[in-house]
Amino acid sequence: MTNTYIQQEETALPQGARYNQIFGIVLQLIGLGLIAVVVVYSLYALIAVVALFAAGLWLTQRFYSLARKYEYAFNEKRLLVVKTNLVGQTKQIANVEFSAVSEFGHFSDTVYVTDTVATGDPSASGVRVLVFGDETAKSRLLFAPDEYLTTLIDDRLKCLRGEPPAKKDDATEEEGR
């Protein structure tokens, strides 16, 4: 096993996301094209055109802020989850200390608004849930670790609880050779 491990998960664009981008650009162009006309015509028309332009900006920004990939960084003390959007900007969305983790397992529940979702498809079969926090405020992290990262997290949590880590059986070890 290792003390540090980094996994990257690429995500696909949601259906209809590209339409948001195209529609946003069209609204921006209409707004820019009509500004010169409505300045002379009416103040209310100018407000409507500015609203069209702002809606176009919002739709375009919403498209470019979608996640392109998630990166799960494991070390002995914590799991760090970083989201990279379509523009390439990164944002740390979760920093979970293993001492605060109360539960780790397969995700088969409903996604709540308060959950931190760090996967492209929460309904996929490999999604795991990590419940952490104190007794008064628990948070859930939904993510899709590979088999090796899952084993690392399981072993780390067992070590913190004082249990022996899971060992490979002889047949598995011989297959790996």
Q: Mutual orientation of helices 17-41 and 43-64 as an angle, nearest 10°?
A: 160
User: What pLDDT is stored for residue 175 in this prediction?
Assistant: 42
Tokens of 140: 């859930």
Residue 70 to residue 74: CA distance in whole angstroms: 13
Q: Indicate whether 1 pLDDT > 80.
A: no
Phi and psi at residue 73, to the nearest 5°: -110, 120
Phi and psi at residue 7, to the nearest 5°: -120, 140
How does pLDDT run across 94-103, given as a tens digit for each residue?
A: 888 888 888 8
Residue 22 — pLDDT band, cuts 50, 70, 90?
very high
How does pLDDT run across 47-89, given as a tens digit for each residue?
A: 888 899 999 999 999 898 888 899 999 988 889 999 998 888 8
Residue 160 to residue 76: CA distance in whole angstroms: 10
116 in Cβ contact with 141 (< 8 Å)? yes
**What predicted TM-score, i.e. pTM, was given to this entire model?**
0.74
User: What pLDDT is stored for residue 171 in this prediction?
Assistant: 42
Largest CA distance in the chain: 83
User: What pLDDT is stored for residue 42 in this prediction?
Assistant: 80
User: What pLDDT is stored for residue 27 in this prediction?
Assistant: 92
The residues spanned by each domain of the chain are 5-10+68-165, 17-64
The owner of tokens 């103040």 is: 43
How does pLDDT run across 110-159, given as a tens digit for each residue?
A: 888 888 888 888 888 889 998 988 778 888 999 999 899 988 888 888 88
User: What pLDDT is stored for residue 4 in this prediction?
Assistant: 86
Residue 169 — pLDDT band, cuts 50, 70, 90?
low
Residue 101 to residue 95: CA distance in whole angstroms: 11
Q: Which CATH class is domain 5-10+68-165?
A: mainly beta
User: What pLDDT is stored for residue 167 in this prediction?
Assistant: 64
100 in Cβ contact with 77 (< 8 Å)? no
Which of left, alpha, beta for 162 (phi over 0: left; psi -120 to 50: alpha)?
left
Residue 162 — pLDDT band, cuts 50, 70, 90?
confident
For residue 25, give the amino acid letter: I
